[in-house]
Amino acid sequence: MLVLRDLVKVYPGPVTALRGVRLEVQSGMFGLLGPNGAGKSTLMKIVAGLLEPTSGQVELDGADVLADPRRVQRRLGYLPQDFGFYPHLSGRDMLIHLLRLKGVKAKGGLKRLAGELLERVALGSAASRKVKEYSGGMRQRLGIAQAIAGDPRLIVVDEPTAGLDPEERLRFYHLLAELAQDRIVLLSTHIVEDVSVLCPAFAVIRQGELVARTTPSRARAAIQGTIHEGEVGAEDLPALLERHTVTRSTLFEGRHRVRVFADDGRPPAGFSAAQESLEDAYMILMKRGADFLSRGADAPPEDSRPPSAEANEGASLAANTEAEA
Ligand code: ADP
Ligand code: MG
């Protein structure tokens, strides 16, 4: 189990990137969903033992990551958001170089290990090709190859699907899902689809705070029956945005196709009920906060919660309901 306790990170500036993040993650895939600048990469680097928090603790299976990063790093694989490659090296040589940097030892030699790892991420036939000829998806898989060396207990992947085309993304999803079968995979993303496809559980981070910890099905259930869809002309859009929480607005044949959260049971005229999606729930969370997540859930009485739990309200409610499921 991975445990984060009250993580705070203040960069020089000062910029407060994390404001007391508490989180427990069991085996399997766990998503960390949030917009740009929310603090995802900061959190991932701290978990990977590469960045010191201003305060707080990180524990992996009972071991303190921050006290002894080197020891824990052996049980940890990390794919950073910006991965540096030497474009002129072959995939195999690049991987060998990365394994060396990581201090990986292999009985049969690094070359043999690199070959095995490349097979594992379906790059065996591209091992001799130069990295500069690799597609975005192939590069990310090469990144995963170095991350899984040594069979780590925890894999941290920071926005791995950004910039991948749909086919590469699908392939990458399969690889990640396979890796999560017997270890913790912590995946950060700003793409809601990553979470709905891959993550049985996830947390939402916003401005350095976890605003919810829930599951995709629970988040959808919390907004069941509230989403309505319709079309409006450009002239009517501003008024609609003012009066309603819009979860999606796309242009279609010159008109705006809009989805609204109508939790008061009064959707705009001419709108009809639509199937709620995780993206709807995420947009509502971003625009209105996490209160809606407690719909239908047994919330603890107001006075039983310490004032400091306020910011984590969505998180604790969701955690409570999770235990019941
Ligand atoms: P995300 O990965 O979710 O986009 P980051 O963790 O990269 O978010 O950044 C969180 C906040 O911290 C942002 O406001 C960002 O500008 C700031 N930040 C990140 N790295 C640094 C740094 N090295 N120095 C100062 N501010 C930083
Ligand atoms: Mg980032």
Q: What is the DSSP string of 148-199?
A: TTT--SEEEEESTTTT--HHHHHHHHHHHHHHTTSSEEEEEES-HHHHHHH-
Please check whether residue 232 lies inside any domain of the structure.
yes
256 lines ligand 1 (CB under 6 A): no
What pLDDT digit, counting tens, does each position of 224-276 carry? 999 999 999 989 999 999 999 999 999 988 899 999 999 988 999 999 999 99
Q: Are residues 129 and 165 in the same domain?
A: no
Ligand number nearest CA of 34 is: 1
- Nearest atom within ligand 1 for CA of residue 158: 2
**C-alpha distances in Å from residue 172, one per residue of 119, 148, 162, 181, 307:** 14, 14, 11, 15, 42
| Mean pLDDT rounded to a whole number for the chain | 89
Output the pTM of the full model: 0.88
Q: Are residues 112 and 246 in the same domain?
A: no
Q: Are residues 66 and 107 in the same domain?
A: no
Please check whether residue 286 lies inside any domain of the structure.
no
Q: Are residues 183 and 230 in the same domain?
A: no
pLDDT of residue 292: 85
Q: Are residues 18 and 161 in the same domain?
A: yes
The residue ranking higher by pLDDT, 321 or 284, is 284
Ligand number nearest CA of 43 is: 1
- Nearest atom within ligand 1 for CA of residue 38: 3
Whole-number Å distance, alpha carbon 15 to ligand 1 midpoint, is 8
Q: Are residues 167 and 265 in the same domain?
A: no
Query: In this structure, what CATH number is given to the domain that contains residue 30?
Result: 3.40.50.300
Please check whether residue 289 lies inside any domain of the structure.
no
pLDDT at 306 over 70: no
Q: pLDDT-based confidence at 299, cuts 50/70/90?
A: very low
What pLDDT digit, counting tens, does each position of 195-222 carry? 999 999 999 999 999 999 999 999 999 9
Q: Are residues 135 and 103 in the same domain?
A: yes
Q: Tell me which residue range forms the domain holding 262.
A: 225-275
Please check whether residue 281 lies inside any domain of the structure.
no
294 lines ligand 1 (CB under 6 A): no
Q: Are residues 140 and 55 in the same domain?
A: no
Q: Are residues 214 and 298 in the same domain?
A: yes
Tell which residue, 56, 45, 53, 57, has the closest CA to residue 2.
57
- Residue with the smallest CA separation from ligand 1 atom 22 is 11
Please check whether residue 280 lies inside any domain of the structure.
no
Q: Could you give the number of structural domains in the chain?
A: 3
What pLDDT digit, counting tens, does each position of 140-160 carry? 999 999 999 989 999 999 999
Q: Are residues 108 and 97 in the same domain?
A: yes
Ligand number nearest CA of 158 is: 2
